[in-house]
Amino acid sequence: MQNASKTLAPRILHLEDSAIDHHLVQMALKKAMGVADIERVETLDEFRGALSLHPFDVILADYRLPGFTALDAWNELQQYEDPPPVILLSGAIGEQAAVEAIQRGISDYLSKDNLNQLPQVIRRTLEVQRIRKQKKESDVALLRSERRLAEFAEHLQSTIDQERASIAREIHDDIGGALAAVKFDLSWIGRHSNDPSTQAHLSAANEMLQHALEASQRIMMNLRPAILDQGLAPAVQWLAASFGRRTSIDTQVNIHCGQSAISKEVQLVAFRTAQEALTNISKYAKCTRVTIDLADTEGHLTLEIRDNGQGILRSELDKPKSFGINGLRERAKTVGGWLDVSSHPGNGAAITLSVPLNSTDTMSPDRMDHND
């Protein structure tokens, strides 16, 4: 229901069975506020009819009326999206009844013996209503903005993944093909030349070529983890093994997964989370041990990467430009999951990804434990 907050002349609905009391209210408001637009109703049916015909800025209601109370009228208002505020204007109703009314959502209570305070109470109520409405509108705008930002982040991440896959294909088809051709040509030269100097150059060239092939394969793997075609568990094991060889950090992998049909999107999010976490560990953790736990119990896929390093300061996590962790959080949201980072400076850190799985995703468990 619309709530047009008119500062000079609010439209008022008066729920009152006494014509004399209504007249007194009219006189008090006309004198103090210049308000003459006050409509009186006596029954719930009249109350409903008035609300269906016009929007009101505020409702004044006697507490006890023939056959019902102001709380019954309040209940009628709850069917409207944006109901006007209600002020109890009644005789002595008792402290308990007044408290109950306020707890139910009634805006204010004023005794009929204090009509001189009514204009001030109405102004205050309308101002509070205006502030509440502005806050509600701001909250809705913020929610829409956050939703648009999340959709943009998801679109951006999808675009990045597609571009990575495209670059990986180009490396494989163009650079990989060219390097393979060079390798065949070098092999041909090696078979048809006995000159020691030529053989020495061929050996050096083959060694550099092997480095180039390995680099292109590593780049392709980082751009598009083809190993995910074998499943998330083998991909995480491969990632951990590569990390251990590259950094000489003791890396343990514990997998407790059933034969789960996890979507490619969820697998990619989990793989990228592990990849980013291990990259950060190699740069900043200064640790000697890393443990990776992967499980799909209780309808959730859970991935946790822990280290025994120096930990992460809360100020570092809260930095606006902490794009690595924030990026992982946004990735998790794209598949309905969430990311948690826990750390105790000097006692290591843990990054935990949790993603709910569809009921059809989990089949009979076949538990595994692996150590790398």
pLDDT at 318: 64
Instruction: Quickly state the pLDDT bin for 30 (edges 50, 70, 90).
Output: confident
Residues 313 and 266 in one domain: yes
Residues 61 and 110 in one domain: yes
Average pLDDT over residues 161-182: 84
Host domain of residue 193: 157-223
pLDDT of residue 189 exceeding 80: yes
The verdict on pTM exceeding 0.85 is no
Q: How far is CA 23 from the centre of its chain?
A: 54
The answer to whether residue 133 is domain-embedded is: yes
- Neighbouring C-beta atoms of residue 144, cutoff 10 Å: 10
The answer to whether residue 152 is domain-embedded is: no
H or E, element range at 348: none
pLDDT of residue 226 exceeding 90: no
pLDDT at 5: 42
Strand order in the sheet with 38-41: 38-41, 12-15, 58-61, 86-90, 108-111
pLDDT at 228: 83
Residues 248 and 316 in one domain: yes
Residue 278, amino acid: L
The CATH number linked to 57 is: 3.40.50.2300
Average pLDDT over residues 257-276: 86
Number of domains observed in the structure of the chain: 3
The answer to whether residue 150 is domain-embedded is: no
Residues 200 and 242 in one domain: no
Residues 99 and 162 in one domain: no
Q: What is the mean pLDDT of the chain?
A: 85
Residues 126 and 179 in one domain: no
Residues 300 and 339 in one domain: yes
The answer to whether residue 6 is domain-embedded is: no
Give 35-70 pLDDT, tens digit per residue. Answer: 667 899 999 999 999 999 988 999 999 998 999 999
Residues 263 and 315 in one domain: yes
Give 280-322 pLDDT, tens digit per residue. Answer: 999 989 999 999 999 998 889 999 999 999 988 776 666 655 5
Token pair 């004044």 is found at 60
pLDDT at 324: 74
CA contacts within 13 A on the Cβ side of 154: 13
The answer to whether residue 3 is domain-embedded is: no
Residues 95 and 207 in one domain: no
